[in-house]
Structure 1
Amino acid sequence: MITTWDPTALGVLRLPSGRLVRGRGLSRPLPVGQVPGFALYLLGHEPPAVPWEARWLLWPDFRPPSDRAATGSALREAWTRSEAERVEIACTGGQGRTGTALACLAVLDGVPSRQAVAYVREHYASRAVETFRQRRFVAHFHKCDAGAAKTLSADV
C-alpha cells in the first residue's frame, strides 16, 4: 500500500517525478497530521528516538556532510522509499542541511545538479541551502555515480 504525504501539507516538496518528501526543522514542533514512515535526520549529534524508522547522518551545521559516501547511500535510500512511503528529511532549522539534502534528492529525481538548488528554493523554501559549501556539494552530487559525493575533497 502506498502511503505518501498530503501534497498540501507544510514542508512537502514535490519532486519532478511526483514523489513527495517532507522537509522540516526539528527545532519546531512536529506538524499535526501524518507522521513519517522513514526519516533522515541531519545533525551534529544523535537525535532522540522517534516511533518511526529513522536514520541519522553526522552533518555539522552550515557545512556539507561529514561522510559523503554514507550521505549518498542514505539519500538514495530516502529517494527510493519516497515512491511509496512518507519520507521526512530534517535538521535543526530545516533550511541549510535539509535544503541541501532535498536538492540532492532532486538530482536523483532528474533535476540537473546545477539547477537543483534553485528548484528546492522555488518549491520548498527560498532560503534553502545556506552556504557556498552546501551549494558546491549539491553541484557535485551525481545520481549516476554512487561514489560521486565521496570524491569531493575534504575542503568542499
Structure 2
Amino acid sequence: MTEMEWKEGSAGVLRLPSGRLVRGRGLRDPMPAGHPPQFGVYLLGSAPEEFGWTSRWVRWRDFWVPADPSYAKEVLTEAWRRAEGERVEIACGGGRGRTGTALACLAVLDGVPPAEAVAYVRRHYHPRAVETPWQRRFVGRFTGDPRPAAPPRQEP
C-alpha cells in the first residue's frame, strides 16, 4: 500500500473482498483528514457544487432509490473499477442510506451475493447502512458482472 492510499479502519473506509478500498461518508459531516478522493460519486436529490476532483452525480432522493437505476449502475461500475487503483468516495447527505446502498451494490460487483451484500456493508461500514426496505430490495436485485465478456469462441 502506498502512502497515497486510504487505510482500512480510517473513517468510513470499506474494504471489499477483492481488497479494493472505498470511502463512504456523509456530506453534512466534516471532510475526513488525509488525502482527498481522486473520484467521487455523490448521491443527492440535486446537483452538488464542484469538489475539486473528478466526480459523478446520481440523482437520488433521501430514503429512496436512484431516479435512473441504469445510470446509477453505470456510475457504480465506474467507481468499482477505479477503486482498484484510485481513492474513491461514495457520499450522500448523511452517509448511511444512499451511501450504504451504493456500497452494498459495489460489494455485489465485487462478488458478494446480492442477498448478503447489505449484511456485509452493515458489518464492515456502518450497522445502520441501507435504511429502507426499497433500498434493500434495490441491492437484492442489483446484478451484473462489470468485467468485459469473453470474446466469442471461434471454431477452427
TM-score, normalisation: structure 1: 0.90
Percent pairwise identity: 59
Q: Say whether 1:102 aligns with 2:114.
A: no
Q: Distance in 2 between matches of 1:139 and 1:82?
A: 22
Q: Which residue of 2 aligns with 1:77?
A: 78
* SS of residue in 1 equivalent to 2:6: coil
Distance 2:69 2:4 in 1: 29
Q: Which residue of 1 aligns with 2:34?
A: 33
1:101 to partner: Cα distance = 0.1
CA 1:140–1:61 in 2, change beyond 3 Å: closer, same or farther? same
Which position in structure 2 is the counterpart of 1:135? 136
State the AA in 2 paired with 1:143: G
Q: Provide the aligned C-alpha RMSD in A.
A: 1.6
Secondary structure class of the residue paired with 2:115: coil
Task: Give the aligned partner of residue 154 of structure 1.
Answer: none
1:56 aligns with 2:57: yes
In the alignment, structure 1 segments of 5+ residues that lack a partner are 147-156
Q: What is the CA–CA distance in structure 2 between the aligned matches of 1:3 and 1:34, rounded to whole Å? A: 7
Q: Name 2:120's counterpart in structure 1.
A: 119
In the alignment, is the contact (CA less than 8 A) between 1:2 and 1:85 conserved in 2? no
| Deviation string, structure 1 residues 92-126 (Cα, Å, up to 9, x no partner) | 00000000000000000000000000000000000
Counterpart residue number, 2:5: 4
Amino acid at match of 1:36: P
Task: Verify the 8 A CA contact 1:4 1:82 in the aligned structure 2.
Answer: no
For residues 4 and 58 of structure 1, the distance between their equivalents in structure 2, rounded to whole angstroms, comes to 28
| Contact 2:104 2:121 survives alignment (8 Å) | yes
Q: Distance in 1 between matches of 2:100 and 2:38?
A: 20
- What is the one-letter code of the residue matched to 1:32? A
Question: Aligned residue for 1:66?
Answer: 67
Task: Report if aligned partners of 2:4, 2:35 keep a CA contact under 8 Å in 1.
Answer: no
State the number of aligned residues: 146
SS state of the match for residue 115, structure 1?
helix
Unaligned 5+ residue runs, structure 2?
148-156
Q: Which has the larger radius of gyration?
A: 2
Equivalent AA in structure 1 for residue 104 of structure 2? A
Mapped to 2, the partners of 1:130 and 1:57 lie a distance apart of: 18
Q: Distance in 1 between matches of 2:132 and 2:56?
A: 24
Q: What do the CA deviations read for 1:62-116 (whole angstroms, capped 9, x no partner)?
A: 0010001100000000000000000000000000000000000000000000000
Residue-by-residue CA offset, 1:11-63 (whole Å, 9 max, x unaligned): 00000011000000000110111110000000001111111111100001100
